[in-house]
Chain A
Amino acid sequence: MTPLVAVTPEPLDLSALTDAVCQGAVGDGAVTSFIGLVRDHNQGRRVSFLEYEAYEPLAVRALNLILDESRSAWPTARLAVHHRIGRLDIGEASIIIVAASPHRADAFAACRYVIERVKQIVPIWKHEHFEGGDVWLEGATADPTDQEAREWARRIASPERSRGACA
């Protein structure tokens, strides 16, 4: 059986993850998915391949926390996320996210929220190997208690709702 949350060195399987989310659901009208791919260029460098490293138990915990946050913001959405680690070549999927819900707006929003939060708080790192060298990429200082970061992800995920909330 496909788990809803995983950090794995195995190639990711979007079809299996979609089945896992949608199994037995008859009330869903929308399924969205996000696939993150390894690009051949980054910040002017020609990328050869990436190596992903994770603090696995905490990464799984952080992914579950993100799904909980997303469910409380979009209670009708059902979600799953798998992140790959180890060596990934250009064009391979590093992350897949699936969101299903009765209506498309919640599915799109929940899916977007998950990827933005992954970039903020999940302890996974890219080691970029490019033509002429290698570098560890460093993005956000992970802090799951940072309300501002969480709100930012929520606004990005659902700009319409955010505008409504301000009005």
Chain B
Amino acid sequence: MRVTVRLFARLRDLAGSGELVRDVTAPATVQSVWQSLVQDMPGLRDYERTMSVAVNADYTRMSAPVAEGDEVAFMPPVSGG
């Protein structure tokens, strides 16, 4: 199944793109989407312990399920304000 991956800030720079369409095996979780991503882009792996994740613009956990067409976001530590 197909999902859209969103990457921000330094994660976006490392990946060379802020938006990627990815095919992942169903049933998928945020974790399995991440695993498939870092397999292709091992440089992202440093963020595994400090990043936040969201599905369809809502914060969630790595164990959350992901469905066809979902937008899955991986975000480095924030620095707004």
Q: Contact residues of A with B, CB < 8 Å?
A: 36, 52-55, 57-59, 61-62, 83, 94-95, 115, 118-127, 136-145
Q: How many A-B residue pairs have CB under 8 A?
A: 93
- Alpha-carbon distance A125/B57, docked complex (angstroms): 16
Known contacts A83-B80, A125-B9, A136-B13, then 4 further A-B pairs from the complex at CB < 8 Å, ordered by chain A residue: A55-B57, A62-B59, A140-B78, A141-B77
- Alpha-carbon distance A32/B80, docked complex (angstroms): 20
Q: How near does chain B come to A41, taking the closest CB pair, in angstroms?
A: 16
Q: Are B51 and A58 in contact, with the CB atoms below 8 A?
A: no
- Alpha-carbon distance A145/B80, docked complex (angstroms): 18
Q: Are A142 and B59 in contact, with the CB atoms below 8 A?
A: yes
Which bucket holds chain B's interface residue count?
20 to 34
7 A-B Cβ contacts within 8 A? A54-B80, A61-B57, A61-B58, A120-B78, A122-B81, A125-B10, A138-B79
Q: Are B78 and A125 in contact, with the CB atoms below 8 A?
A: yes
Q: Are B76 and A125 in contact, with the CB atoms below 8 A?
A: yes
Instruction: Name the B residues within 8 Å of A121 (CB-CB).
Output: 78
Q: Are A139 and B52 in contact, with the CB atoms below 8 A?
A: no
Q: How near does chain A come to B59, taking the closest CB pair, in angstroms?
A: 6
Q: Are A55 and B58 in contact, with the CB atoms below 8 A?
A: no
- Alpha-carbon distance A143/B58, docked complex (angstroms): 11
Q: Are B54 and A58 in contact, with the CB atoms below 8 A?
A: yes
Q: Are A138 and B57 in contact, with the CB atoms below 8 A?
A: no
